């Protein structure tokens, strides 16, 4: 048995990228996020927030990261999201997809996906604490 929390097509208030004259500048950046969590946090015997994974603080932290600074790359923004996810022991794995639209003319979406299991999240957390 497995379970997940999934967020899709969240328009983020991030400033990402460097563009020159003539480049297609995206209208928006979006986030898809899938968190693998223990089924014990989904199949519950009582209807209490203390029995589940409260994702609202995580979304708040990601929103703060998005507004924090200008990012030259989607990858750096995603790395910071992974560092935040690493602090939540209830997250067993994470799939982060950040994308922009449009890409060429007025069409397309383009993004980068990062998938990490708990052991990789632990390594990221150790690295971020070393800085």
As a whole number of Å, the CA-based R_g of the chain is 16
What proportion of the chain, given as a percentage, has pLDDT over 70? 97
pTM flag (> 0.85):
yes
Provide the pLDDT for residue 129. Answer: 64
DSSP state of 52: S
Per-residue pLDDT tens digits for 57-82: 999 999 999 999 999 999 999 999 99
**Which residues fall within 8 angstroms of residue 22, CB to CB, at 6 or more apart?**
none
The domain made up of 3-130 is a member of CATH 3.40.50.2300:
no
What secondary structure, in 3-state letters, does 88-117 show? Answer: CCCEEEEEEEEEEECCECCECCEEEEEEEE
pLDDT digits (tens, 9 = 90+) for 79-131: 999 999 999 999 999 999 999 999 888 899 999 999 999 999 999 877 766 65
**Domain layout of the chain by residue ranges:** 3-130
């Amino acid at each position: 048995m497995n379970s997940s929390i999934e967020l899709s097509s969240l328009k983020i208030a991030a400033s990402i990228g460097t563009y020159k004259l003539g480049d297609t500048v995206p209208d928006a950046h979006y986030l898809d996020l899938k968190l693998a969590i223990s089924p014990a946090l989904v199949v519950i015997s009582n209807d209490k927030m203390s029995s589940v994974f409260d994702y609202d603080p995580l979304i708040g932290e990601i929103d703060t990261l998005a507004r924090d600074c200008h990012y030259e790359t989607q990858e750096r923004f995603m790395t910071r999201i992974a560092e935040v996810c690493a602090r939540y022991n209830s997250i067993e794995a994470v799939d982060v997809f950040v994308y922009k639209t449009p890409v060429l003319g007025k069409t397309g979406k383009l993004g980068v996906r990062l998938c990490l299991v708990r052991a990789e999240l632990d390594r990221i957390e150790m690295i971020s604490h070393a800085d």
